[in-house]
């Protein structure tokens, strides 16, 4: 994994990279399969399960801001992956971490490692290894996470059937409002006198809440699932396209936080911005009508709020979002896209 090329600092301190790894990451790699980060690779025991694999990179200036606290950057890097595992019905099994750093900033690394350590414990997802490289460009953190499901049980995007309920966890649109606030946009102005709401929204942008507690209920009941990372409207369109169906969404039943609902009522933002902004990291799933009650009960026991927002219908057109009068809300934009 190492490519030292002609790094001049290597001669002065040949163990710079190794000591950085030993100092900040070895203490976190307590799983026996990580071999104290003293080998070329780690072992993840299959234990008869399917191993679900997912990867997500986050880049400074794109997924987080340079001013974000390093511990929250670490949490976000891990949690966006845990969100994918949860949506697939998988239990976290471990992850590897690739860091591209401009410099070895010790205060930054200490805070980053602290945030990571806390989430490793919180979600029971051990650090198995990684790679550490230097970059002249923006900071990049890439995590590949592994999860477990019983053989053949990973929940795909492609199983939604007409008549299924469209269900989402948590609330939609908070993170995009938090980002707007951090950037000094209209939300920052509107919430100038409401520090608590502002802090909640910024927190939703900086530290996603992966719905890991819902993984088993998703695995047990969902026909199809995915996590909402690029905007509810666009991600629902992806799920519908993969399943060969369409959907009718009652916009009034989409769960918004009190802060988001207030900004909507004041006209600071429109529904479109909330359903097409990214970074929600909620689970979107299709639940057969007959299972909805028991799914809702399992979700309740897991402590995860779930809301039915519409119905899967036959057809190939993109999902329609309907207002209180049943009129379609035109969506010029459905999701965040990098290109
Ligand atoms: P190699 O020289 O064999 O490619 P490295 O020097 O890249 O190995 O890594 C040495 C050990 O440290 C390996 O076990 C690797 O998984 C681990 N490691 C390197 N960077 C990280 C990181 N950012 N986080 C966790 N483990 C890391
Ligand atoms: Mg290396």
For 263-308, what is each residue's pLDDT tens digit? 999 999 999 999 999 899 999 999 999 999 999 999 999 999 999 9
The model carries a pTM of: 0.93
For 36-48, what is each residue's pLDDT tens digit? 999 999 999 999 9
**Whether 52 contacts 88, CB under 8 Å:** yes
39 CB under 6 A from ligand 1? yes
Q: Is the predicted pLDDT of residue 11 greater than 50, yes or no?
A: no
Long-range residue pairs from 178-181, CB within 8 A, at least 24 positions apart, any chain? 178/202, 178/203, 178/204, 178/205, 178/206, 179/205, 179/277, 179/279, 180/269
Q: Three-state SS for 224?
A: strand
Sheet holding 127-134, edge to edge: 50-59, 140-149, 91-101, 127-134
Q: Is the predicted pLDDT of residue 202 greater than 80, yes or no?
A: yes
Mean pLDDT for the chain overall: 94
**pLDDT attached to residue 15:** 63
Angle between the 174-182 and 258-266 helix axes, to the nearest 10 degrees? Answer: 70
Q: Give the Cα separation of 245 and 161 in Å (integer).
A: 7
Closest to 77 measured CA to CA, from 136, 137, 127, 2: 127
Q: Which residue has the CA at smallest separation from atom 12 of ligand 1?
A: 37
214 CB under 6 A from ligand 1? no
182 CB under 6 A from ligand 1? no
For 155-192, what is each residue's pLDDT tens digit? 999 999 999 999 999 999 999 999 999 999 999 999 99
Question: Which domains, from first to last, does the chain contain?
Answer: 8-149 (3.30.1330.10), 165-322 (3.90.650.10)
Q: Is the predicted pLDDT of residue 57 greater than 50, yes or no?
A: yes
Confidence category of residue 336, pLDDT binned at 50, 70, 90 = confident
The token pair at 179 is 């980002």
**pLDDT attached to residue 338:** 65
Ligand 1 centroid, distance to 13 Cα (angstroms): 17
Ranges assigned E (strand) in the chain: 50-59, 91-101, 127-134, 140-149, 165-169, 224-228, 246-250, 282-287, 306-313, 320-322
Residues facing residue 248 across a β-bridge: 311, 320
């Amino acid at each position: 994994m190492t490519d030292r090329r002609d790094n001049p600092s290597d001669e002065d301190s040949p163990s710079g990279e190794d000591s950085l790894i030993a100092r900040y990451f070895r203490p976190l790699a307590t799983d026996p399969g990580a071999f104290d980060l003293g080998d070329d690779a780690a072992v993840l025991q299959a234990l008869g399960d399917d191993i679900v694999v997912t990867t997500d990179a986050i880049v400074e200036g794109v997924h987080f801001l340079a001013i974000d606290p390093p511990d929250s950057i670490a949490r976000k890097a891990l949690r966006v992956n845990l969100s994918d595992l949860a949506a697939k019905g998988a239990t976290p099994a471990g992850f590897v971490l690739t860091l591209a750093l401009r410099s070895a900033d010790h205060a930054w690394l200490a805070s980053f490692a602290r945030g990571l350590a806390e989430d490793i414990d919180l979600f029971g997802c051990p650090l198995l290894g990684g790679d550490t490289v230097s970059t002249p460009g923006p900071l990049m953190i890439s995590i590949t996470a592994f999860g477990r499901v019983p053989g053949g049980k990973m929940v795909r995007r492609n199983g939604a059937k007409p008549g299924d309920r469209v269900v989402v966890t948590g609330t939609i649109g908070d993170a995009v409002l938090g980002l707007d606030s951090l950037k000094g946009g209209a939300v920052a102005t509107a919430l100038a006198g409401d520090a608590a709401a502002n802090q909640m929204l910024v927190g939703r942008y900086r530290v996603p809440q992966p719905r890991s507690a819902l993984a088993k209920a998703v695995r047990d009941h969902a026909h199809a699932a995915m996590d909402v990372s690029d905007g509810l409207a666009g991600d629902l369109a992806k799920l519908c396209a993969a399943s060969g169906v369409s959907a009718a969404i009652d916009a009034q039943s989409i769960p918004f936080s009190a802060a988001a609902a207030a900004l909507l009522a004041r006209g600071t933002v429109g529904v479109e911005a909330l359903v097409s902004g990214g970074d929600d990291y909620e689970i979107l799933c299709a639940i057969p009508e007959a299972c909805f009650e028991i799914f809702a009960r399992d979700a309740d026991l897991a402590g995860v709020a779930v809301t039915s927002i519409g119905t899967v219908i036959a057809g190939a057109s993109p999902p329609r979002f309907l207002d209180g009068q049943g009129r379609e809300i035109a969506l010029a934009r459905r999701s965040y896209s990098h290109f």
